[in-house]
Amino acid sequence: MNKFIPFAIFCAISLALYVGLSLNPSNIPSELINDPVPEFALTEVGSDTASFSSETLATEEDVIIMNFFASWCAPCYVEHPFLMELKNRGYKIYGVAYKDRARNITRFLEEQGNPYTQVGADENGRVGIEFGVYGMPETYIIKNGIIKYKHIGPILEMQFEDEFIPILESAR
Amino acid sequence: MRIIATFICFFAMSLAALAVGVDEGRLTDPAQEARAQDIMKQLRCLVCQNESIVDSNAALAKDLRMIVRERITLGDSDQQVLDFMTSRYGDWVLLKPPFEGATIVLWFSPLILLLVGFYVVYRNLKKQKFITTAEPLSRDEQARLKELLTEADDC
Amino acid sequence: MIVELGHFALILACLLSFIQGTFPLYGALKNRGRLMSLSAPAAYGQFFFVAISFFALMYAFIVSDFSVVNVAKNSHTLKPLLYKISATWGSHEGSILFWAFVLALYGAMVAYFGRRLPKSFHVTVLAVQAMVGFGFYLFLLLTSNPFERVFPFPMEGNGLNPLLQDPGLAFHPPLLYMGYVGLSVTFSFAVGALIAGRVDAAWARWVRPWTLLAWCFLTAGLSLGSWWAYYELGWGGWWFWDPVENAAFMPWLVATGLLHSAIVVEKRDTLKAWTILLAIIAFSFSLLGTFIVRSGVLTSVHAFATDPERGVFILAFLFLVIGGSLLLFAMRADRLQPGGLFAPVSRESMLVINNLLLSVAALVVLFGTLYPLLRDALTGDKITVGPPFFNMAFGFLMIPLLLVMGLGPSTNWKRADLVGLLGRLKFIMLAALLATIVIFYIVDGGEIMAAVWLGLGLWLLLSTLFEWAERVKLFKSGFMARIIRQPRASMGMSFGHLGLAIAVIGISGTSYWNLEHQDIMRYGDSASIGGYDVTLRDTDGIAGPNYTAVKATFDVSRDGSTITTLEPEARVYMTPPMPTTEAAILSTLSADLFVVIGEANNKEHTEWAVRLYYKPLQLWLWAGVAIMVLGGLISLSDRRFRMGAPTRGYK
């Protein structure tokens, strides 16, 4: 037996572990990249008709940002001011309030500001599951009804520059 | 910061995960409920790490359990239910990795490693030659035997 | 003040470990007696100071000194004293300090018990031990200082995860660390032997008790953790193949292999290079486990709050220690001349097969644990390798292992007669087979794998008893005296194997014949499971020192007659706010009845979520592992294994 084999195997393991340090194991990528958005129809917060649907996104001309949030989610409060800024920069953002009551959403938006073009109320969380959402907040980039990118966790300024802008630009 | 934020988020979710509840809306047909339970045991909970959704009381796990039950009542096969889950969350949700492509190496690893091991052992032992015929004790061994015998007396 | 003293003592221990790891080693290489004589005093001093440091931290926890960050983050004034103490090793920083403390403890033990070893070898072993310790001290001081202060300090601490506030888990980490770190001694001996360039029976006789000691601690620690998961997590599972469990299990597998291969080195003076390699790998797995738990590379339910910077530090340290020793092995192993020869069928061969299967099992567990990471790093795919894979892969390797275990102890050294052996044991095989069929008939069948495991467990049980009976010549004149005068090592082996057999039988029962039942129950409602009728009588709100709870009372009856009442609790802790379940378990030799009370299902609190589990032979599993540990301890008490036994081989 070549006595160096254990050492070689160990080197390979170390290398993998080193690479592993920069990976986030709890970050599960979307299965739906480059797929059309799953079909859904949500009532808008404060209305009874299903006016926010997959159709809305498919007919949207701009590249848009779709943000799943909830008033019960602490990181969403961290993220919110930045969403407001994105709105001011001219990005179009759709919101889905995940497993939240209309009253709480309204108050959340009154207090924190409303960056969304439309806010759908996903009360039972089914639309979230259709999208493969598993934590709050999560954000998608969608063009012509096709999902281009998914981000898990609150968006921070630096990540927006690094991850979102290239995709937003290329999709334009 | 992001790490902290995500941590808070997961933490908030996993808190609920520890409470024990019993699902409402369990299927009335025991055979179907058993099938549903069996499928749930194969699905990994997304927010609580390394548990199946059966064992978790996280809200998302609950929702997924209901979806499993719904699909079963709608007449889906076990595989169809699993396929729905993987189409949303990827192979990641399957506690049992699929047997295809790159995972074949994984599934066969015990056999491969065992065969390699046997080969290594065989080669090493061949080098030092198995004894196949009875041979008298060497002088060394006789000395060692003596030593061992006297040692036994010490004890 | 005491905290600063602890901090200062830690720095002193760090310096002493550096001295212990360098000058005496240089002295040993150059044969300078005065430099070498620094070694043992440095080891004692290092232990003294790190002990001061550890107890200073414990003191800070006991008096709830929240100006220490670590205490503020992990303790709370309302916590019972036991959990204030156990919080000392419950946090990341504290547990590393505990590692260093235990490492120095073992170092001091080697310094003391090994004083009759040849000087230069003794010094080398202690130097290796100290170098590992030095790495841990640096890690503590540079990245994870447990004595860091905050100002202004909080008035109250964050509390300890309530799941960890349990006697079982208070003692699980110390035992596990005693095991993990115990393997460092074997490691130091192995590296010392590589530096000295020789291994012989005396070396093996030295290594065996230390491996055995570490193995006993590891087994006890692992089973305690498993037992805790069983009664505390509330769904009656006891092994989840979680990365952190695997991280503790791999060193156990290798240590078990090492235990057996060291016998071959001692008795037959062969398999030396292999034994050295196993000794290195066993400790490597310990270190790897520490890395996995703390770096966040794998998701786990047990993970400490993670930090990539710490990850890089441990990885670099890991690379130096493990990579260095494996490289040393590669360069020096050829010097270890193989000794005694043996035939393909012999005790040696049986032990080689044991080693092969255990090592492959450890590798497979490693591969399965790291596979998601490898895949993610190479292709970016996220995938889960969960219990179904491990059960299959591990089971595949355990079947031949259990078969061979039944044969091994009855096999002669050097050369054995396989036909004769099988002839002697054929009745045992038949008996095991027959018993399996009878049991299957009685319990009305089950899965085929259940029969396989049950059969293997019975085979091991009977063959171990048979071998023992042959050895003591049972029922022939004077056999009582022979039973008592058995060498402790052989007695320990019998107990160890017997324990495993009982555990395997238990596993087959609890894994394949378990039942579960969940329901919403009102007062007076009954549910039946496994022949028991369980009636919810009442619930009551109670308050503990740092939690409130709902305590439910269940009447348990069988065939109409009341047996007992069970009182499970659903607790909600205050800091951090977190619910836990305290299951109530009725344990009998045939099965456990496991009752969990959950949330109220309605606002009036008259309907409750209840889960019932029926776990056949669960007690056998715990009894089995306890007997295994007992076997290890009996073996350890063998006079020939005295840690200070004279060392004939080194002159």
Per residue in C610-645, pLDDT tens?
Answer: 999 999 999 999 999 999 999 999 998 886 655 554
Q: Do C411 and C338 touch, CB atoms closer than 8 A?
A: no
- Is A11 within the bounds of a domain? no
Looking at residue B137, its pLDDT comes to 57
Chain B residues with CB-CB distance to C237 below 8 A: 55
Average pLDDT, stretch C528-538? 92
Q: Compute the CA torsion angle C91, C95, C101, C106 (nearest 10 deg).
A: 160
Looking at residue C620, its pLDDT comes to 95
**pTM beyond cutoff 0.80:** yes
- Is A108 within the bounds of a domain? yes
Smallest CA–CA distance, residue B143 to chain A, in Å, is 32
Q: At residue B151, does pLDDT exceed 80?
A: no
- Which of A9, A31, A160 best tests the B interface by mutation, with the highest count of B CBs <10 A? A31
Bin A99: left if φ > 0, else alpha if -120 < ψ < 50, else beta: left
Residues B55 and B119 in one domain: no
Which residues have CB under 8 Å from B108's CB, separation 6+?
A: none
Inter-chain touch C381–B91, beta carbons under 8 Å: yes
Q: How far is CA A20 from CA A24, B41, C366, C524, in A?
A: 8, 28, 15, 54
* Angle C131-C132-C137 from CA coordinates, rounded to 5°: 90
Average pLDDT, stretch C185-195? 92
Cis peptide before C251 (omega within 30 of 0): no
Q: At residue C485, does pLDDT exceed 90?
A: no
Looking at residue B152, its pLDDT comes to 45
Tell me which residue of C304, C404, C266, C270 sits closest to C99, measured CA to CA: C304
The B residues from 17 to 46 touching C (CB cutoff 8 Å) are 18-24, 42, 44
Q: At residue C61, does pLDDT exceed 70?
A: yes
Residues B89 and B143 in one domain: no
Chains sharing 3 or more CB pairs under 8 A with chain A: B, C
Average pLDDT, stretch B91-100? 88
Number of H helices, E strands in chain C: 20, 10
pLDDT band of B10, cuts 50, 70, 90: very low
Closest residue to A14, CB basis, from C281, C308, C315: C315
Residues B19 and B84 in one domain: yes
- Is B98 within the bounds of a domain? no
Looking at residue B140, its pLDDT comes to 67
Residues B65 and B113 in one domain: no
Highest mean pLDDT pick, A166-170, B2-6, B139-143: A166-170
Q: At residue B12, does pLDDT exceed 70?
A: no
The reply to whether C430 touches chain A by the CB within 8 Å rule is no
Q: Do C168 and C582 touch, CB atoms closer than 8 A?
A: no
Chains sharing 3 or more CB pairs under 8 A with chain C: A, B
Pairing of strands C591-600, C584-587: antiparallel
Q: Do C619 and C586 touch, CB atoms closer than 8 A?
A: no
Closest residue to C360, CB basis, from B24, B94, B114: B114
Smallest CA–CA distance, residue B12 to chain A, in Å, is 8
Chain A residues with CB-CB distance to B10 below 8 A: 26, 135
Average pLDDT, stretch A9-27? 83
Smallest CA–CA distance, residue A37 to chain C, in Å, is 21
- Weakest mean pLDDT among B138-142, C91-95, C508-512: B138-142
pLDDT band of B148, cuts 50, 70, 90: low
Residues B132 and B75 in one domain: no
Inter-chain touch A21–C382, beta carbons under 8 Å: no
Token pair 């979520």 is found at C609
- Which of A2, A4, A10, A24 best tests the C interface by mutation, with the highest count of C CBs <10 A? A10
More confident residue, C13 or C446: C13
Q: Compute the CA torsion angle C490, C622, C242, C316 (nearest 10 deg).
A: -40
- Is B37 within the bounds of a domain? yes
Chain A residues with CB-CB distance to C318 below 8 A: 14
More confident residue, C97 or C419: C97
Instruction: Please tell me which residue of chain C has the smallest CA distance to B14.
Output: C578
Mean pLDDT of chain C: 87
Looking at residue C306, its pLDDT comes to 56
The B residues from 67 to 126 touching C (CB cutoff 8 Å) are 90-97, 102-103, 106-107, 109-111, 113-114, 117-118, 121, 125
Token pair 């005694």 is found at C340
- Which of A3, A17, A152 best tests the C interface by mutation, with the highest count of C CBs <10 A? A17
H or E element: which one contains C650? none
pLDDT band of C18, cuts 50, 70, 90: very high
Which residues have CB under 8 Å from B142's CB, separation 6+?
A: none
Looking at residue B2, its pLDDT comes to 32
Chain A residues with CB-CB distance to C386 below 8 A: none
Tens digit of each residue's pLDDT (9 = 90 or more) over C307-343 = 667 788 888 999 999 999 999 999 888 777 666 778 7
Rounded distance, CA B83 to CA B91, Å? 9
Residues B129 and B54 in one domain: no
Tens digit of each residue's pLDDT (9 = 90 or more) over B33-90 = 889 988 998 998 887 767 888 877 778 888 899 999 999 999 889 999 999 999 988 8
CATH of the domain at B19: 1.10.8.640
Inter-chain touch A7–C374, beta carbons under 8 Å: no
Inter-chain touch C388–B111, beta carbons under 8 Å: no
Looking at residue C649, its pLDDT comes to 40
Name the residue type at position A57.
L
Average pLDDT, stretch C94-115? 92
Looking at residue B80, its pLDDT comes to 93
More confident residue, C577 or B79: B79
Smallest CA–CA distance, residue A163 to chain B, in Å, is 14
CATH of the domain at A63: 3.40.30.10
Alpha helices for chain A (secondary structure H) = 5-21, 54-58, 74-88, 102-112, 126-131, 157-159, 165-171
Residues B47 and B14 in one domain: yes
The reply to whether B8 touches chain A by the CB within 8 Å rule is yes
Q: At residue B145, does pLDDT exceed 80?
A: no
Instruction: Please tell me which residue of chain B has the smallest CA distance to A2.
Output: B120
Rounded distance, CA C200 to CA C266, Å? 7
Inter-chain touch C315–A13, beta carbons under 8 Å: no
Cα dihedral across residues C452, C456, C462, C466: positive or negative: positive
Q: Do C112 and C32 touch, CB atoms closer than 8 A?
A: no
Domain of residue A143, residue span: 30-171
Q: Could you give the percent of chain B with pLDDT greater than 90?
A: 23
Instruction: Please tell me which residue of chain C has the smallest CA distance to A10.
Output: C323
Residues B89 and B117 in one domain: no
Q: Do C362 and C401 touch, CB atoms closer than 8 A?
A: no
- Is B49 within the bounds of a domain? yes
Q: Which tokens in the block code for residue C192? A: 């010392």
- DSSP character string of chain B: -HHHHHHHHHHHHHHHHTS----SS--SSHHHHHHHHHHHHTBB-TTTSSSBGGG---HHHHHHHHHHHHHHHTT--HHHHHHHHHHHH-GGGBSS--SSTTHHHHHHHHHHHHHHHHHHHHHHHHHT----S--PPPHHHHHHHHHHHHHHHH-
Average pLDDT, stretch C454-458? 94
Q: At residue B141, does pLDDT exceed 90?
A: no
Inter-chain touch A134–B2, beta carbons under 8 Å: no
Name the residue type at position A45.
V
- Identify the domain boundary among B93, B118, B137: B93
Q: Could you give the percent of chain C with pLDDT greater than 70?
A: 96
Q: Which tokens in the block code for residue C431? A: 């008996």
- Is B142 within the bounds of a domain? yes
Looking at residue C646, its pLDDT comes to 45
pLDDT band of A172, cuts 50, 70, 90: low
The reply to whether B86 touches chain A by the CB within 8 Å rule is yes
- Which of B3, B44, B50 best tests the C interface by mutation, with the highest count of C CBs <10 A? B50
Q: How far is CA C87 from CA B78, B93, C74, C403, in A?
A: 45, 34, 7, 43
Residues B75 and B15 in one domain: yes
The ipTM is 0.86
The reply to whether C399 touches chain B by the CB within 8 Å rule is no
More confident residue, B123 or C10: C10
Looking at residue B19, its pLDDT comes to 62
> How many domains is chain B built from?
2
Which residues have CB under 8 Å from C402's CB, separation 6+?
A: C456, C457, C459, C460, C504
More confident residue, B27 or C549: C549
- Identify the domain boundary among B93, B114, B132: B93
Looking at residue A162, its pLDDT comes to 84
Closest residue to C599, CB basis, from B19, B110, B128: B19
Rounded distance, CA C443 to CA C462, Å? 21
Closest residue to B109, CB basis, from C364, C384, C640: C364
The reply to whether B49 touches chain A by the CB within 8 Å rule is yes
Mean pLDDT of chain A: 86
The reply to whether C73 touches chain B by the CB within 8 Å rule is no
Pairing of strands A52-53, A116-122: unpaired
Smallest CA–CA distance, residue C84 to chain A, in Å, is 30
- Identify the domain boundary among B67, B93, B119: B93
What are A's interface residues with C at a Cβ cutoff of 8 A?
A: 3-4, 6-7, 10-11, 13-14, 16-23, 25-29
Which residues have CB under 8 Å from C420's CB, separation 6+?
A: none
Q: Which tokens in the block code for residue A123? A: 């009360």
Q: Do C192 and C121 touch, CB atoms closer than 8 A?
A: yes
More confident residue, C415 or C453: C453
Q: What are phi and psi of B16, to 5 degrees?
A: -65, -25
Q: What are phi and psi of C95, to 5 degrees?
A: -70, -35
Q: Do C517 and C505 touch, CB atoms closer than 8 A?
A: no
Looking at residue C461, its pLDDT comes to 95
What are A's interface residues with B at a Cβ cutoff of 8 A?
A: 1, 26, 28-29, 31-32, 73-75, 78, 99, 124-126, 129-132, 134-136, 152-154, 156, 159
- Weakest mean pLDDT among A99-113, B27-41, C60-74, C156-170: C156-170
- Weakest mean pLDDT among B4-8, B11-15, C41-45: B4-8
The reply to whether C425 touches chain B by the CB within 8 Å rule is no
Residues B12 and B64 in one domain: yes
Tens digit of each residue's pLDDT (9 = 90 or more) over A44-78 = 887 777 788 888 888 888 888 999 999 988 889 98
Residues B72 and B113 in one domain: no
Tell me which residue of C527, C513, C514 sits closest to C609, measured CA to CA: C527
Inter-chain touch C315–A11, beta carbons under 8 Å: no
Tens digit of each residue's pLDDT (9 = 90 or more) over C369-403 = 999 888 888 888 888 898 999 999 999 999 999 99
Residues B111 and B83 in one domain: no
The reply to whether C438 touches chain B by the CB within 8 Å rule is no
Looking at residue C154, its pLDDT comes to 83
Smallest CA–CA distance, residue B36 to chain A, in Å, is 18
* Angle C570-C571-C577 from CA coordinates, rounded to 5°: 135
3-state secondary structure of C548: strand
Tell me which residue of C56, C18, C51 sits closest to C147, measured CA to CA: C56
Looking at residue C410, its pLDDT comes to 85
Closest residue to A1, CB basis, from B10, B88, B120: B120
Domain of residue B27, residue span: 2-93
Tell me which residue of A19, B112, B98 sits closest to C364, measured CA to CA: B112
Q: Do C611 and C596 touch, CB atoms closer than 8 A?
A: yes
* Angle C544-C545-C551 from CA coordinates, rounded to 5°: 10
- Which of A7, A19, A134 best tests the C interface by mutation, with the highest count of C CBs <10 A? A7
Q: Which tokens in the block code for residue C173? A: 């980490």
Closest residue to B49, CB basis, from C301, C387, C578: C301
